[in-house]
Structure 1
């Protein structure tokens, strides 16, 4: 088997979005920093309500999927069709915008910690105009695997193989075959996992530092940096003196042209122009 190595490091940058929510963006900070099929990864984390209280008021999307994964906090999702969903600590929402949705994500707390991630995943051309759909994932629906060294893996999408058994997350059947793992490893531990060789993959530590690759060919990756991995059919991740928490993300690349204008992601400029026209004319959905 070929172990993937750390090929590129994308430091996250401080920015804001929505009504002024402070966050850090790694993938997607410019349109050349993507890992097909992943378009963007934002991390938000603050104990100061002023950094998040304005939330994400109503805004449109077309042509891709958004994944919101909450570590701490409570947000309410609402859309123009009347759908509502609570997103609480440990839960996630997988939204396929498809041909269009206008929605908001607003904090339901006035104090305390708000921490989590939003990931954008591209849709293939043949699926960009399908109807919007949601999957609200409650914390108890996400499998948690305890590793031999007392580390743990939360399987949000895709699967993990451990001790000869395969454990699948609640999100399956995507064209991109996305894998989304949230991992915690104690100090001086090691995690090895098969990753389909046809998939692109990256890792994002949000607490501590990790080592990626075999012992004789490893590189360090600090927190709040996206580490893009080389080709291969497995990953090997280790911690040293301190524990670490990190995301592992992998997916089948679409290898299609990407034309993006803010919240619209299509394949051509004409399709972007059509999305803008549909939005202005109330025909986005």
Structure 2
């Protein structure tokens, strides 16, 4: 089925944390990626790009979802969680009313670090609930391959992949959000079926697609069809696939805080300065 593409977005270089170089697609207007807010990618074998990591910092009002392809990060937070999130692992943190955490690099000796952090917006009614944390280390993320050179790895939620139902160990993201990694051999082809949610987002992080025509570092937002067939170009492709239901709520953003009003942002800053996000 031909995709009805609503928006095209391009990853831009920036830096975050203690000088970590990343590429970012962000939308804090609520007009394009809703219910997603941001897709960050870090990919480097140069230690100077990531050695500073992400020292202790707060969040409120969002869910962070981390997925590592190479190397990893050590996560610590004020709730007492400590975990090495390494190649193939995923991690979900529903920050709610407040989390204080750090993420420090664990590079692969040869290939450095390659991974993603995705921000999912939370509904206004949930932004001040207690924080939640989970990761995939105990179970791993299931994947399956077809005969046309395509492999789908379920990262969040359930995915129908040809005759296989893949259930990721992480479920229950805000706004029915689901995430998968589609890995295509040169000229490989895969069909995504029984898609849920009102929006489909494709982010090509490696290679290119010939159908639809997308190059590396590009994301498209489309109305969600019942099914869609993706075809890689001669280089093959790696594609993050997202589905979700737009929240259609006001977005107020300031650094690590995403709320619905400016007053709520000011309150988040005051609460952090007063030590209400806990201690590490």
Is the Cα contact below 8 Å between 1:154 and 1:183 reproduced in 2? Answer: yes
How far did residue 32 of structure 1 move?
A: 6.3
Structure 1: segments with no counterpart, 5+ residues: 213-218
Q: Residue deviations 1:172-223, cap 9 Å, x none? A: 23341111111111122322213546421211111111134xxxxxx41100
Q: Which residue of 2 aligns with 1:215?
A: none
Is the Cα contact below 8 Å between 2:121 and 2:174 reproduced in 1? Answer: no
Is the Cα contact below 8 Å between 1:260 and 1:272 reproduced in 2? Answer: yes
Q: Which residue of 2 aligns with 1:64?
A: 62
Alignment partner of 1:208: what SS? strand
How far did residue 26 of structure 1 move?
A: 1.4
For residues 18 and 8 of structure 2, the distance between their equivalents in structure 1, rounded to whole angstroms, comes to 29
Moved more, 86-95 or 30-39: 30-39
Q: Which residue of 1 aligns with 2:89?
A: 91
Q: Which residue of 2 aligns with 1:35?
A: 33
For residues 236 and 264 of structure 1, the distance between their equivalents in structure 2, rounded to whole angstroms, comes to 37
For residues 99 and 245 of structure 2, the distance between their equivalents in structure 1, rounded to whole angstroms, comes to 25
Q: Which residue of 2 aligns with 1:187?
A: 186
For residues 3 and 76 of structure 2, the distance between their equivalents in structure 1, rounded to whole angstroms, comes to 40
Q: Would the alpha carbon gap of residues 117 and 110 (structure 1) be closer, same or farther in structure 2, given more than 3 Å must change?
A: closer
Q: Which residue of 1 aligns with 2:25?
A: 26
For residues 221 and 156 of structure 1, the distance between their equivalents in structure 2, rounded to whole angstroms, comes to 22
2:202 counterpart of 1:240: no
**Paired residue for 2:100, among 79, 99, 102?**
102
2:239 counterpart of 1:266: no
How far did residue 136 of structure 1 move?
A: 1.5
Aligned residues: 277
Q: Residue deviations 1:19-46, cap 9 Å, x none? A: 0100000134x64674110000011000
Instruction: Provide the aligned C-alpha RMSD in A.
Output: 2.0
Q: Which residue of 1 aligns with 2:208?
A: 209
Structure 2: segments with no counterpart, 5+ residues: none
Is the Cα contact below 8 Å between 1:4 and 1:233 reproduced in 2? Answer: no
TM-score by length of 2: 0.92
For residues 77 and 16 of structure 1, the distance between their equivalents in structure 2, rounded to whole angstroms, comes to 19
